[in-house]
Amino acid sequence: MISSKNFHFTLIYMGAIPFVIGSILLVLGFEEILYLGRLEWIIGSYGLVICSFIAGVHWGQFIQGVDLVKINLPLTSNSIVLLAWFLFLILNSVYFFYILILLFFVLLAIDYQLFKLDRISLNYIKCRAIVTTAVNTALLISGITINLQ
């Protein structure tokens, strides 16, 4: 059984699973999942959700009183989410995957700033870095695979 102390880390790692499975399925030649739709849309919409969720965590940090950050957390989180949503609507999936890679790195950089202010733990920033790397690798593989099809 997972201890409640580490349960949130388990959830963070599990959040990468749809990206990894999606990229594996694309590499294997699958294009859609019955009843769910095209893999490109599934991966992109899930990426939009995760991007929004992480930005929401930054809002939570702001509400908790993080005013020492040199970043305007409400402005950046809202801007990132609105940009991601707009680009999800207008771009093809490959370009959106590449934008998501950039946005996930930006969100990680914001988390790093929060870490430097001792607002988040070393374990959390390490976990985020590992998961961001795994997710971005899966997104890159997915984008390349779709381009080669």
Q: What is the mean pLDDT of residues 105-129?
A: 94
Place of tokens 């305007």: 72
Say if pTM beats, i.e. exceeds, 0.85.
yes
What pLDDT, on the 0 to 100 scale, is given for residue 37?
A: 95
Q: What is the mean pLDDT of residues 60-89?
A: 87
What pLDDT, on the 0 to 100 scale, is given for residue 65?
A: 73
CA-closest candidate to residue 85, choices 116, 52, 113, 114: 52
Q: What is the mean pLDDT of residues 124-139?
A: 97
Q: What is the mean pLDDT of residues 4-20?
A: 90
